[in-house]
Amino acid sequence: MAAAAQAVCNSRIDIPDGKRLPQDFWKYVDRTGNCWNWTGTVVARYGQIWWNGKVFKANRLAYLLFVGPIPDRLLVCHHCDNTLCVRPDHLFLGTDQDNQADAAAKDRKPWGENNPHAKLTLEQVGIIRKMYSSGFASQKQIGKQFGVSQFCIWTIVKGVTWKRALCPHSTKL
């Protein structure tokens, strides 16, 4: 990190309501590696800290204090993909859609059978597409056979879901 940015990260920063960063913040940050990892309380893979009468995600508080305000409806995302990282130059603002696109671009999103919400296998999806394209059964009948809704079958045969399964050469799951 540049010396100027390092100095900012070590200084006490005033925020709009006049409160100051608790000295305990740095007590819970391991700055020995490339990422500055939060070592305090962790809930659902993100660091948390109680400050100024509220619970903050540690990465959001780090962004607020060392980068600037966080507009409504924006997330504090990680360039490094490390949810425990609070290093300001590893953080950026984005919408939920931006964050999802970033995850997909970096192949971090589980899909297919690896998605914990999946009700079908890749093999079943192939069978469903063949059954429908051959006219063997209606979407409703196929859905009933596989224990899913007609809408689920429609999204499969139209390529809305299981998009990667459209490519016969795709081996990624």
Other Cβ atoms within 10 Å of 133 Cβ, number = 9
What pLDDT, on a 0 to 100 scale, did the predictor assign at position 2? 40
| CA distance linking residue 151 with residue 144, whole number of Å | 11
Strands 37-38 and 29-30: antiparallel
What pLDDT, on a 0 to 100 scale, did the predictor assign at position 54? 81
What pLDDT, on a 0 to 100 scale, did the predictor assign at position 22? 59
Give kind and range of the element (H or E) at residue 130. helix 122-133
| CA distance linking residue 40 with residue 52, whole number of Å | 17
pLDDT in tens, the chain (173 residues): 343 333 333 333 344 454 566 567 888 999 999 999 999 999 999 999 887 778 889 999 999 888 989 998 999 999 998 999 999 999 999 999 998 888 878 877 667 777 778 899 989 999 999 999 999 899 999 999 999 999 999 999 998 888 877 655 444 43
Which residue type is seen at 164?
R
Cα-Cα end-to-end distance for the chain: 36
What pLDDT, on a 0 to 100 scale, did the predictor assign at position 159? 87
Q: What angle do CA 78, 92, 84 make, to 5 degrees?
A: 30
129 with 137: CB under 8 angstroms?
Answer: no
Residue with tokens 């051959």: 134
Q: What sign for the dihedral angle of Cα 27, 55, 87, 104?
A: positive
What pLDDT, on a 0 to 100 scale, did the predictor assign at position 24? 73
What pLDDT, on a 0 to 100 scale, did the predictor assign at position 13? 38
What pLDDT, on a 0 to 100 scale, did the predictor assign at position 9? 38
- Rounded to 5 degrees, φ, ψ at 47 are -65, 145
